[in-house]
Amino acid sequence: MANSFFNKRTTGVLELADRLYGHHLYECNVAQQFLSSDMSRDRKRVLKPNIKLKEQAVQDEYNKEHNIETEVDIFLKNFIDSYYPNRPKELEKFSLYNIFSNFQ
Helical ranges in 1-104 per DSSP H = 2-7, 13-21, 50-65, 96-102
pLDDT at residue 7 is higher than 80: no
Nearest to 72 by CA among 92, 91, 52, 88: 52
- Tens of pLDDT, residue by residue over 42-54, are 888 888 899 988 8
- Tens of pLDDT, residue by residue over 28-76, are 666 677 788 788 888 888 888 999 888 888 888 888 788 877 777 888 8
pTM of the model: 0.50
